[in-house]
Amino acid sequence: MRYLSHELSPQTPVFGDNRSVVVEVDTDFTTGPYLQHWLETCNHNGTHVDVPSHFHEGSLTLSDLPASTWTFLRPALVDLPLADDHVLSEADVEAVVAQVPEDADALLLRTGFGACRAGDPVRYLTANPGGSAAAAAALRRLRPALRAVFCDIPSYSAKKAVPDGVAWHQVALAPDESGAFLLLFEDVDLPADLEAPAAVVAPPLRLAGLDGAQVTILAYAPGELG
């Protein structure tokens, strides 16, 4: 078992105009018998998940989703190296889904861009690849069993192509006639040595009525689930 989520801290790279994470000592052993901290953060800082209400007013929030939402028993890990500022196209998605079984319930899309997160956070936040409406529509059409996409980029909105990224979110997160949509996990840790997991569990913080939250992602190797 291993984490696929980054630690949340004041050093966490934050996308766009998000305020940085604040962690301060609230009470320590100089004033009492225990230690506790004050944490302040946007719910989309660090490794997190977007749910439909993030881009669709009045749509599903974290509170509407059952516990089973966060377990994926047929994840597919696919490598798609992307250049800085690249916007995913329908052709990119076609190349990806050729490696994704039809019954896969989660796509772990490893672009390799996450490798610069620690050493070059400015590049990570300003030159990231992202999605497009055509890419999201193709992914949903070609692999309708997918329930989630995990990716090693800070946002599916490329910093230099935000309108395309907004459209990706809108298409991916829109519930269809059956209620299906794609959960979007961003700022995921998908290192080069990660092998295809047998299962992924990614529960968010239980924040009432919100459009997304930080997640702790666990990847299980074959045999670890019994």
Is 225 domain-assigned?
no
3-state secondary structure of 10: coil
Give the domain CATH number at 189: 3.50.30.50
- Total of domains in the chain: 1
The answer, as to whether pTM is greater than 0.95, is yes
| Helix, strand or coil, per DSSP, at residue 148 | strand
pLDDT digits (tens, 9 = 90+) for 121-173: 999 999 999 999 999 999 999 999 999 999 999 999 999 999 999 999 999 99
* 188 within a domain of the structure (yes/no): yes
Domain contains 226: no
Q: For residue 144, what are the domain limits?
A: 2-220
What is the structure's pLDDT at 224? Answer: 85
Closest CA to 70 of 57, 51, 56, 54: 51
pLDDT digits (tens, 9 = 90+) for 65-88: 999 999 999 999 999 999 999 999
Q: Report if residue 164 sits inside a domain.
A: yes
